[in-house]
């Protein structure tokens, strides 16, 4: 069966309904708790038609819930996984009032703070994380050394990493102290630990990293550890930006 606009794999459909993460959905399906049109299906990759098929979990109808868009100012020291076998704090402990599952749009590592978007709108999340759409993300960086103009030019033009050269970036020196350079860096990719690796590629290290912007979204009016719902206008702006990137 070829996937169409109304077709989703069973695990994605269950997760999309806001009941749990995709990993949890696959576990529920594998244990026989999910039925499609009255028949137990234990294959997470089974295709279902969102408009025609009746899907139940433990006998209860799985329905899409209202879409939620959560903007969180993530503190340092929290991971973005739903659960952690090592017992580390996760960002989900910061949003206990959100009564349905929302997945993170991209990630921030343990030692990085800043803007993190969480949503159960999988289509928008996929559009925002698609590397072809080149969604800009801005970071404030405290480098472990003083950086020369030449080093900043290298960042701006793209540096070579193990997984290939980076795209050109926007780089602005904020200020220099006696030992450190503070800079603003805007990239249009989302590779693992990319900003840290870029700074290492020019011969320094990151001492502090804060994501301050994702597309049109900023840290304005948010204190560290706090969250808020996106406005309708902000959601519309993200959709418009994603559509524009797809057409370009």
Q: 89 and 79 in contact (C-beta within 8 Å)?
A: yes
Local structure of 229: helix, strand or coil = strand
Task: Select from 43, 35, 116 the least CA-distant residue to 75.
Answer: 116
Q: Is 53 a catalytic residue?
A: no
Q: 229 and 100 in contact (C-beta within 8 Å)?
A: no
Which phi and psi angles does 49 have, rounded to 5°? -95, 120
| Active-site option among 109, 123, 163, 176 | 109
Q: Enumerate the active-site residues.
A: 109
């Amino acid at each position: 069966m070829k996937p169409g606009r109304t077709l989703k794999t069973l695990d994605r459909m269950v997760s999309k309904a806001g009941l749990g993460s995709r990993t949890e959905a696959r576990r529920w399906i594998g244990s026989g708790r999910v039925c499609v049109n009255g028949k137990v299906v234990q294959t997470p990759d089974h295709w279902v038609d969102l408009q025609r098929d009746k899907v139940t979990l433990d006998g209860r109808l799985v329905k899409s819930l209202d879409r939620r868009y959560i903007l969180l100012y993530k503190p340092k020291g929290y991971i973005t996984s739903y659960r952690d076998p090592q017992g580390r704090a996760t960002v989900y402990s910061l949003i206990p009032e959100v009564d349905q599952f929302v997945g993170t749009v991209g990630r921030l590592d343990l030692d990085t703070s800043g803007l993190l978007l969480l949503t159960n709108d999988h289509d928008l999340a996929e559009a925002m994380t698609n590397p072809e759409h080149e969604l800009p993300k801005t970071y404030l960086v405290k480098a472990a050394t003083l950086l020369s103009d030449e080093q900043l030019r290298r960042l701006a033009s793209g540096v070579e990493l193990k997984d290939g050269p980076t795209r050109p970036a926007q780089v602005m020196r904020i200020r220099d102290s006696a030992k450190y350079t503070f800079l603003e860096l805007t990239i249009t990719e989302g590779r693992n630990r990319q900003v840290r690796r870029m700074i290492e590629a020019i011969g320094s290290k990151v001492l502090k990293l804060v994501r301050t912007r994702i597309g049109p979204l900023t840290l304005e009016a948010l204190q560290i550890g706090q969250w808020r719902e996106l406005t309708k206008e902000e959601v519309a702006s993200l959709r418009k930006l994603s559509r524009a990137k797809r057409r370009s």
